[in-house]
Structure 1
Amino acid sequence: MVVKFSNGYVWKDGNFVKKDFFVEGNKFVYPKKFDKEVNLEGKYILPGFSDSHAHILGVGIKKLTLDLSDENFEKILDIDSDIILGRGWEKIDNKDFFDTVKSPVILIRKCGHVAFLNRKAQRLLKINNYYIFEDEIEKIWEYIPSEFLVRAFKEGINEFLKHGITSVHSDDLHGISFELLKRLLKESKLRVYEKLCTKNPWEFEFGSYGISKIFGIKLFADGSLGGKTAFLSKTYKNNSGFGIFTLPDNFSDIVEFAEKNNLQVCVHTIGDEALSRTIEAFGKKTGHRIIHAQFVKKRDFEKLSSFSFSVQPHFFFEDLNLISSVDFSNILLYPFRNMYENNILISFSSDGPVSPISPLYVIQAALKLGFSFSESISLYTEFSGKLIKENIGVIKPQYLADFIIFKDKTLRNLEKVFVNGELVYDTLTLNP
């Protein structure tokens, strides 16, 4: 069936233009004889936002558990649960307080790279430390029921759709079985581009699942700035450490496997030294992706053109209080504008649940960094598709029919969300 959408203002080349567009099946098509017409009544239409790096499962878990972004830890005392799980804190001062709680308490830091365990949680996880880092955090998910994770995944999908996000490059192989993840991807009405966090990618099946796709491999080269595990070339002030370098020993084998199977390797790097070593480890391999790239040695900048990047403009402002703890001489800080001006392929992302998943939140930060509104829209739509050579993010023939409808051009009154040509979220009927 061909559907004509008429009388709307459609985003085209940086402006809203009054024009009709046509959808047949799951794609935009050239004007032709149509079976049905939808009058958009002067509303505004954008291609669906595409978040090039976020965590659907993490967003859902945060929604369903204790939000500690206000660091009001006293509310834990009101919870009656076998395990108390929360996320969002930046600093914990009184460890003894949590040992008075009857249940195991597991609190994940805002960045997701550090977790706090009270003594009951330590006994449960068989860990003798209040804080755990990086790979150790994976042990937490062994104690979370799979039915809860399923609910969290679906909740996460709903949260993205509510913000007009029609596709997400996600990272969800945490505590959930691969078979269950495949089922959830196949059932998803959100278009998911999944990158598997694994050091053994040859154990998994890549390819399409419904409208979703497992396209790549996610690896970590370091941790987080807030957790002082981002790997730097100079030590943290008032701290003798450089952070940690976590790129796996079999990295070359992973890249070789990816190249043979047309997969993209996506590497989390925040610190400048982590980025240097990651670039060196890739050697002459090109076309893979770096996630974050917040700190770049000046001498490494010219090497960035061999890669694509998922970046978060808002991190510059969120990290202002952390930057003072680091010596950044000869380092470029959050050089996203400079990257864009030098034709290095970047795309915007939220890294939710680390930060709010609202595209407007990210775009407002981008405007402060010197991006125009038009550039920001493109970097949150079309460029996300360019990262993986997918026809998304533009309303024109042969592109996938993912689009969103707003009541007005402020983009604050979202009404409808279409994915793959199908209405999947309607704020007028509150029907996700």
Structure 2
Amino acid sequence: MKIAVVGTGYVGLVTGTCFAEVGIDVTCIDIDKRKIENLKQGILPIYEPGLEEMVLRNTQKERLSFSTDIATSVQGCDVAFIAVGTPPGEDGSADLKYVLAVARSIGQNINDYTVVVTKSTVPVGTARKVQQAIEEELELRGVSIPFDVASNPEFLKEGAAIDDFLKPDRIVVGVSSERAEEVMTKLYKPFLMNGHPLIFMDVPSAEMTKYAANAMLATKISFMNDIANLCEVMGADVNMVRKGIGSDARIGNKFIYPGIGYGGSCFPKDVKALIRTASENGYEMQVLKAVESVNENQKSVLYNKIYKHFDGELAGKTFAVWGLSFKPKTDDMREAPSLVIIQKLLEQGAKVRAYDPVAMKEAEHTLKDSIYYGKDEYEALIDADALLLVTEWPEFRSPNFNVVGKLMKGQVIFDGRNIYDAAELREKGFSYYGIGIKQGVQQETIK
């Protein structure tokens, strides 16, 4: 088979590379000439574990190629994926201008039956708009070329995207014809050999499935953060509560870890878009509005603890921040809680020394030179009045606290992910603050 993937961002690049990995002929397309030239040289625009090696391997085997020429690339292909961005508008709705622009380009250039697949996260009804855009272009050309539009939402976790694609929990495809179903079944056949379920449904249901999945996961996170805040008030330990409810098979133990709010490119954007879609159709998503509100407030929880500990006297203080990306194993800084915390500290006249194993360059795009970027986690601690654990990278889990104590000026740790043992740190002379743990209560560390 031959496929084209338009868009070489996170979703498009992972999708194209993984299809090439199973032997499919893939062309990844982007209008950004510099990005394409870099990709041809093995320079990736994103960080994702294992992706660089896979890109290089499949490029060398000539199963994966990169181009700025959408016209040539979509001609003769069996499937054309649309994997461009859908940034949120000011009203929270998904901006479809890039998706529809690609649809028009496809309509201007296809020369045989093609299944056009929306891989980008798009609102219900987008496939219909894509179909209309392609039909209009075909009409302008004065030709009648058969095509189908399908929806194939992605369920990739940043930091584990390769495994998620090659070993998926499920593959969801929305189609409107038997012919499209046959093509998509053939495309995903290499994955079905390992027993991964391929679920076909109508197109609107597939579009809704993606939003519903992310909204549910965001809801679990915000619910647990709300419980964590109540635990602090009541003197309970949220980590014990988490174990108690996570053992219930109806609830499960995933996405119930308390913290400082979710971020990234998916949850914030998709929750907003689903709320907006509902509003446009006369329905109010009351639960999701609360989810969004809790999450925004949660990003300030760690800062509020800092402010209270120092009695509001933050000017001139130095804070070491471990972790800048919104989660480990990615350099994604979109909607990262670290940005909210750091900005609030800077507004109070504090100084920030930060370190992240991967996201430093990405952070500089937003934070510029307003903070100091450490060479490693220990150098970031020098003369700090407090340490803030913001992103739970593996290398931050077991630091040498004797060294930490010697490098820092103060002896305070604010643990935004509950990865440290409160009793151990207090024995070493540190003041310790976690999430959902009343000050003075010993918490069980995450296992």
TM-score by length of structure 2 reads: 0.29
Higher radius of gyration, 1 or 2: 2
Structure with higher strand content = 1
Ranked by relative contact order (alpha carbons within 8 Å, sequence separation 6 or more), the top structure is 1
